[in-house]
Amino acid sequence: MTTVAATPAKVTRPNIVAVGTIVWLSSELMFFAALFAMYFTTRAVQGPKVWLESTGMLNVKFAAINTTVLVLSSVTCQFGVFAAERFQARRSGPLWKFSKWGLREWFALTFLMGAFFIGGQVYEYANLVHEGLSLSSRAYGSVFYITTGFHGLHVTGGLIAFLMVMLRVFKAQKFGHSQATTAIVVSYYWHFVDIVWIALFSAIYLIK
């Protein structure tokens, strides 16, 4: 142990759970890459004229509001992570003072915003099916529902993950490093899903 003096001072090793999450998210990125490739190929094969007939059915304004809520939920999620890094599970003041909020309040708010997004998406699907665009009606319907649907499933999975974090924090005897790690990796996932949606939104609703 003669080299101890030569080694630099305390080094914080990257958390193994976080490293595993990043590796998994990288594979998720390539999963969505396949979906994007499917979307653009179908678009290239069918031509912009056929595409315009279907994209005209989209309600861009409604989707933009929905997107804003999802993007803001990433912000509230990050405030939850800041609370987790302070090891603060619950609020230390009244409910309206959000500067005193803990992990539980921020994640509950994030959950509600995510649920709003999913509710909006279900409403949008219902309208589109009503107008005659279904999964099997035409190629545009297939790629639209498969890409946004898989994203919606990911958001739903994230909502379940938020519930798990809150359940775990509730059951834990004290809020320690392992609870904070769970909250942090769930936030990584949530930010990832959010960024994927921004890309999907720009491809499907803006570029068309």
Partner 1 sequence: MKAGWRLFAGLSIFYAIVAVIYWLVGGEAVGITAVTLSSALAALIAFYFWFSTKRSGGILPEDNMAGEIADSAGELGFYSPHSWWPLPVALSACAAGLGLLIGWWLTLIAIGALLISIIGFVLEYEKPSALPTH
Q: How far is the CB of 90 from partner 1 (least distance, A)?
A: 16
Instruction: Check residue 95 for interaction with partner 1 (CB under 8 A).
Output: no
Give, rounded to a whole angstrom, the gap between the first and last alpha carbons of the chain: 64
Q: How far is the CB of 103 from partner 1 (least distance, A)?
A: 15
Asked whether the beta carbons of 186 and 158 are under 8 A apart, the reply is yes
- The span of 6-14, 63-71, 107-115, 139-147 binding partner 1 (CB under 8 A) equals 6-14
Residue closer to partner 1, measured from CB, 164 or 206: 164
Which of 94, 95, 96, 173 is the binder for partner 1 (CB under 8 A)?
Answer: 173
Instruction: Check residue 167 for interaction with partner 1 (CB under 8 A).
Output: yes
Instruction: Check residue 17 for interaction with partner 1 (CB under 8 A).
Output: yes
Which of 29, 64, 122, 126 is the binder for partner 1 (CB under 8 A)?
Answer: 29
Instruction: Check residue 5 for interaction with partner 1 (CB under 8 A).
Output: no
Instruction: Check residue 30 for interaction with partner 1 (CB under 8 A).
Output: yes
